[in-house]
Structure 1
Amino acid sequence: MAAMLHPHDSRKIARSLQVHQETGVAHSQLLEEQRAQEGGGSLGGPLRFPNPCIFWLQCNMEALDKKLDKRVDEMLSMGLIDELKDFHRRYNEQKVQENSQDYQHGIFQSIGFKEFHEYLTADAGVSEEESGQLLTKGIEAMKQATKRYARKQNKWVRNRFLKRPGAFVPPVFGLHVTDVSSWEKAVLTPALEVLDSLQKGERPSLEPIKSVGEEQRNKRSRHDCELCSKVIIGDLEWTAHLKSKNHLYHVRKKRKAESTSEQKVASPCDHIHGTECPL
């Protein structure tokens, strides 16, 4: 399992060790046993229920962005700022004073808290205008983070279910929710029809989204880059690393060093005071 996890991924390493401590069996062995079960595959063990399906609620991105902005505004009107101030006072203020705040773990990484760090930690003597600017900055940051997360969710669905299809990956049915006024016609009715057909063992009239064939990649393969002194986990990440500016810089640096070394070997004698080498 150690070869499958990045050395800096402390959360997954701790979880893997916890599994071994609680079960007495290596985490990697448990995963292999799950994949080897009937109905299992490269993505994991068998599905729990027969004839499953996935409903993917899809929305025009421009319309979705407006809905997300409106959602944030509604949260603000319902007392989000007071809630953040209270949470900060109880759980984060002391950590900030000790410079030990951590917005990468637990509830502290949630969207809607870390974006207001500057506003919540501003000095008591800050002017009302500056405080308002920090608040506006936090609100805009929260809206942008919410939109990025929505796009990340869409990307995850595509990558997880459509770009890496397997024999046991459930079909994905797209339901459009851009116009919520037509919810019953565009979402509820077709979803119920799909469920009814699957329960009867029939083919639904609504066609699932077609899978996009893609070269199978190993998400847990280990790659050691000697040039950059880095460990890369995953084929996709390795491909991206090979194209990164940092790696290409080290490649050019190595080639330059090798070229200089070859020139020195080819010309063992230097020109001294304008006298050419007799060789």
Structure 2
Amino acid sequence: MNPLIAVVGATGTGKSKLAVDLASRFNGEIINGDAMQMYRGLPIITNQIPNEERNGIPHHLISCVDLDTEAWRIGSFKKEALRLIQDIRLRGKLPILVGGTHYYTQAVLFKEQLVDKEKTEEGGEEGEEAEESSTTDLPSTSAKWPILDASPEIQLQKLREVDPVMAGRWHPKDTRKIRRSLEIYLQTGRPASEIYAEQKLLKKQAVMKDEGLLRFENTLILWVHAEKEVLNARLDARVDDMVKQGLMSEAQKMSDYLQDKESQGITIDQTRGVWVSIGFKELAPYFAAVRQPDANEKDLEDIKQSCIEFIRIATRQYGVSQIKWIRNKLWRALSEAGVMRRLYILDSSDVSEWEKCIAQPSENIVQSMLDNQPTPDPKSLSELASTVLEAREEQMRAKNTDEPMKCFTCDVCRKTMTGEEQWQIHLRGHGHKRALKAKAKRAERDAYLRGREEEEKARRGDLDVK
């Protein structure tokens, strides 16, 4: 059957625990899909599941990369993950992929449809907007093409020249998307919009030929989800626990490593890899203050608490971005493949109800798939599942997914909006209407002044004649 179980969800929802439960129940092994958890020696900052909670289950691609190792690109991760999946199956076990970095997970779940793949593989990312979630996969191509280090304004201007379709899609502040679109053109010699159009055509042809877009036919995706307010409180508490467990010590270790490299004249790119992990970069002001000779304990403590609060905020924001990816990118991919029934939402809002809301339903679903029996309706699992799925389906029906996103600029208000919906909201808004009235009044005033000026010129002309 070649089954594959994928567990996705925001940080703090219980993905790792569910994976261990399922691996224990169905003789499985776990493949980590979180880019940060691949780094060795930082179990707290990267939120690795403790050894004592793994129940003896083998965990692959976790704590396997050193600090000085170049960040893995998505192609490297996919290749190794697929190798592990095959190896686990050959040993008669069930592979379970646990994704925190969801574009890693998605690259494993779905077949490539990107044309000229051999040209873009060196760029690491496969898929239209993978760059939205991380800068860790962007290769160091700026040495070859210096314009990639130019200002966003210059990059956008160049993109308008070589690929006006993509330039019109991105908001001027979407700097990573603009850079990536330009980078694809420089790497392949073809506009990204042209490549993506062919990609969509290939997907449609695959569906028409009944060729599945999922890499493995027997795939289940379990989305561990929690209500926003509950999850935010849980994440705040988890940050506090991380501090108690030694977060500061690990961050100090990373900071000392950077200082040591700097003293050797070695510059570390802190915009990639583990250096962008939540819990380190937010503490940079604190470690900088510690090194000041005139630092006092009270000021240092204030800075420290401020940095910890920024960690809480960043963690909550990261959870939101993970959910956004699932709702948009993963949902769209499943919809295009016609396999929405493979996605199951498990409500982890109340951890005291874990057995009832998470463990038992997930085991029943997996068992049904392994027995080649019909799996339940995803909406039937819980009220949360029904609400989320129905709301998203309604949004998908109301939106024409074949229509590419486009940016609109209002010359009156000097604002740029992304998408037809936001553009129409702006046009109907009070602010835009006030701006139109003000513009009309200015035009009326200017016309009046021009008329007076012409009358004055005419009067002077008459006087000159006389």
- TM-score, normalised on structure 1? 0.70
Say if 1:35 and 1:46, in contact at 8 Å, map to a contact too.
no
Structure 1 residue corresponding to 2:237, chosen from 67, 70, 75: 70
Measured in 2, the distance between the counterparts of 1:92 and 1:244 equals 52
Measured in 2, the distance between the counterparts of 1:4 and 1:154 equals 25
Instruction: State the Cα deviation string for residues 147-195 of structure 1 (Å, max 9, x = none).
Output: 2332343344345567998453623422111333443432133123334
State the shift of 1:55 in Å: 2.3
* Paired positions, count: 263
Measured in 2, the distance between the counterparts of 1:243 and 1:260 equals 25
Cα root mean square deviation, aligned:
4.3
CA gap 1:82/1:238 in 2 versus in 1, 3 angstroms: farther
State the shift of 1:80 in Å: 1.8
Aligned residue for 1:91, secondary structure, equals helix
CA gap 1:259/1:118 in 2 versus in 1, 3 angstroms: farther
% identical equivalent positions = 28
Q: Which residue of 1 aligns with 2:439?
A: 254
Q: Which residue of 1 aligns with 2:308?
A: 139
Q: 2:420 is matched by which residue type in structure 1?
A: D
Q: Which residue of 2 aligns with 1:15?
A: 180
Measured in 2, the distance between the counterparts of 1:10 and 1:160 equals 19
Say if 1:59 and 1:177, in contact at 8 Å, map to a contact too.
yes
Measured in 2, the distance between the counterparts of 1:18 and 1:12 equals 10
Give 1:1-279 correspondences, 5 Å limit: 1-5=163-167, 6=170, 9-37=174-202, 38-39=205-206, 46-50=213-217, 52-91=219-258, 107-122=274-289, 123-160=292-329, 166=335, 168=338, 170-171=340-341, 172-197=343-368, 200=372, 202-204=374-376, 206-207=378-379, 209-210=389-390, 211-214=392-395, 215-216=398-399, 218=403, 220-227=405-412, 232-236=417-421, 238-239=423-424, 251=436, 253-264=438-449
CA gap 1:111/1:207 in 2 versus in 1, 3 angstroms: same
Q: 2:315 is matched by which residue type in structure 1?
A: T
State the shift of 1:17 in Å: 4.4
Aligned residue for 1:174, secondary structure, equals strand
CA gap 1:260/1:85 in 2 versus in 1, 3 angstroms: farther
Measured in 2, the distance between the counterparts of 1:148 and 1:157 equals 15
Structure 2, gaps ≥5 residues long: 1-162, 263-267, 381-388, 457-466
CA gap 1:145/1:40 in 2 versus in 1, 3 angstroms: farther
State the shift of 1:59 in Å: 2.0
State the shift of 1:196 in Å: 4.3
Measured in 2, the distance between the counterparts of 1:105 and 1:247 equals 40
Instruction: State the Cα deviation string for residues 251-278 of structure 1 (Å, max 9, x = none).
Output: 45533322312444676658xxxxxxxx
CA gap 1:201/1:255 in 2 versus in 1, 3 angstroms: farther
Say if 1:164 and 1:213, in contact at 8 Å, map to a contact too.
no
State the shift of 1:68 in Å: 1.3
Say if 1:34 and 1:40, in contact at 8 Å, map to a contact too.
no
Measured in 1, the distance between the counterparts of 2:271 and 2:435 equals 30
Stretch of structure 1 that moved more, 175-184 or 105-114: 105-114
Say if 1:198 and 1:204, in contact at 8 Å, map to a contact too.
no
Aligned residue for 1:213, secondary structure, equals helix
State the shift of 1:247 in Å: 6.4
Say if 2:166 and 2:193, in contact at 8 Å, map to a contact too.
no
Q: 1:213 is matched by which residue type in structure 2?
A: E
Measured in 1, the distance between the counterparts of 2:183 and 2:333 equals 29
CA gap 1:243/1:65 in 2 versus in 1, 3 angstroms: same
CA gap 1:180/1:23 in 2 versus in 1, 3 angstroms: same
CA gap 1:266/1:17 in 2 versus in 1, 3 angstroms: closer
Say if 1:219 and 1:236, in contact at 8 Å, map to a contact too.
no
Measured in 2, the distance between the counterparts of 1:227 and 1:126 equals 51
CA gap 1:161/1:8 in 2 versus in 1, 3 angstroms: closer
Stretch of structure 1 that moved more, 131-140 or 53-62: 53-62
Measured in 2, the distance between the counterparts of 1:102 and 1:125 equals 29
CA gap 1:105/1:257 in 2 versus in 1, 3 angstroms: farther
Structure 1, gaps ≥5 residues long: 96-100, 271-279
